[in-house]
Copies of this chain bind each other. A is one copy, B any other.
């Protein structure tokens, strides 16, 4: 009879235990869990605070009693403090009474998770200053934000948990301000896609301050009242700090296990650490990025679950592997679905992959059917090899479907020409006749094979500022669209009139052509090329990704 000890009981730990027990019913399995709850949905916490999940017990996936019925012992409020790899022993303290305990193992799995990063600023000890990491954090936050006395909330950090919390609090009627040190929110996304999201969130009433670091918190009677940033002071009845997390590895480090270059526990493909028979899974472990081949730490509930399965099989003598992640992720912000997979443009450039991007309208059904929703979809490929490198989707459309499709293409190391051959489910209620993913793949092929130049919205903005009179922005949309909003000082010739009105354009100038999404401007650019214009550039994604100055009736939309 062998004994498996699992340290950590939220996500990866319970999965390891259950899988191992199913693989080998004779195995003794014990989970040591520091908190007073086991097996709960950490990802569900913002929805619990926002009231979407009405009862705390809905967050609890399985109780200690239920594990008991499967022959798995769960010891809650037991903190493991030492691992002796030689003697195959662990020891620790029972948090309820301070007594120590010891145990021995044949196999050990660390599933110690992650911990929040606490900024070293004045005022951190004030009341009404919260982190959201554990279900017990939610227990403390919930009554506070449900109080009508709490009117203004400052969320520090514009990552996905910060944004989920901002939505939840906004739905509860709070005035929410997001403070982010970086120049953009959602820093895993490219600037243009993050700008699409930001415009939407501002319309939803959030105040978003970027490039603005947190300096300190001040308060009265022990409670926070103001947040100091580098630029201003903000009133706050509650502050949510969401500055990121890091792997929880002190126990592993103390035991002498190898810590990887990412700061998380090093494991091989079998989820085994540097010590034989000792495994790690979930947020405490590092893994491999399947696009770059490099070691990464990308903590996610879904990854924890898959790694738990692999570790659970292997502790029973199996030979399962976890080959790594693609960096796929998604979050909801009001009705926007914000998803990504693979590398963004910045990451791909840093890897020397010479990325190019296609930005298209990601409509969720055929245009003949009314009522469809749209996301902006970006797909990235390598100009050298044509290989797909990543994708991002932002909007009310089926971002999740687009990103899952591209994630599969990434896993299979497809090129854009292979992605263009995808056979995806089409009928009018579900997709345009060509999936936006396929359209994006075709745009990438055109870019690689074609002779046209391209500009991103940010590049257009910079070039226009720098080039003065030698640079023309040509808008080829219809009159109605142009009246609503247009880039100031752009020249306007609708696509259908372009052939007749070529004389209005100067062949010696550089011409950046744009429309709403990039399709008509692509056709216009081809026409200009055909008529001897040589300095023609199509603007990626057109106005979809233009988050800079606009004029017209709906310029503020």
Interface residues of A (CB under 8 A from B): 11, 22, 25, 41, 43-44, 47, 52-54, 58-59, 61, 69-70, 160, 290, 300-303, 305-306, 309, 322-323, 325-332, 337, 339, 341, 366, 368-370, 398-401, 403-405, 407-412, 414, 418, 420-431, 433-435, 438, 442, 496, 523, 526-527, 530
Contacts and interface: CB of A to CB of B under 8 A. Distances in A.
Contacts of A423: 290, 302-303, 325-328, 341, 407, 410-411
Contacts of A526: 22, 25
A309 B526 CA distance: 17
Contacts of A326: 423
A420 B61 CA distance: 22
Given A423-B328, A427-B330, A404 B405 contact: yes
Q: Which of A303, A398, A400 has the most CB of B within 10 A?
A: A400
B368 A329 contact: no
A89 B341 CA distance: 51
A422 B411 contact: yes
5 contacts: A43-B427, A58-B368, A302-B426, A341-B423, A411-B421
B47 A425 contact: no
A23 to B, nearest CB: 9
Q: Which of A300, A407, A414, A427 has the most CB of B within 10 A?
A: A427
Q: Which of A54, A326, A421, A423 has the most CB of B within 10 A?
A: A423
Given A421-B306, A426-B300, A368 B411 contact: no
A496 B290 CA distance: 40
Contact of A434 (B305, B422, B438): B305
Contacts of A47: 368-369, 428-429
A54 B370 contact: yes
A411 B424 CA distance: 10
Nearest to A371: B52
Contacts of A25: 526-527, 530
B409 A330 contact: no
Nearest to A322: B421
A410 to B, nearest CB: 8
A364 B322 CA distance: 25
Q: Which of A61, A339, A403, A433 has the most CB of B within 10 A?
A: A433
Contacts of A431: 302, 400
Nearest to A411: B422
B407 A418 contact: no
Nearest to A412: B412
Contact of A426 (B327, B330, B418, B426): B330
A369 to B, nearest CB: 6
A303 B327 CA distance: 31
Contact of A328 (B323, B337, B412, B424): B424
Given A52-B370, A303-B423, A411-B414, 9 more contacts: A44-B428, A47-B368, A47-B429, A302-B423, A306-B438, A328-B424, A330-B427, A403-B425, A404-B422
A140 B331 CA distance: 47
A97 to B, nearest CB: 31
B424 A407 contact: yes
A326 to B, nearest CB: 4
A368 B400 contact: no
Nearest to A342: B423
A370 B50 CA distance: 13
Contacts of A398: 400-401
Which are the 3 A-B pairs with shortest beta-carbon distances? Answer: A408-B408, A412-B412, A302-B426
B330 A369 contact: no
A366 B425 contact: no
A425 B405 CA distance: 10
Contacts of A433: 11, 41, 43, 301-302, 305
Nearest to A298: B423
Contacts of A418: 411
Q: Which of A41, A54, A322, A323 has the most CB of B within 10 A?
A: A41
A422 B405 contact: no
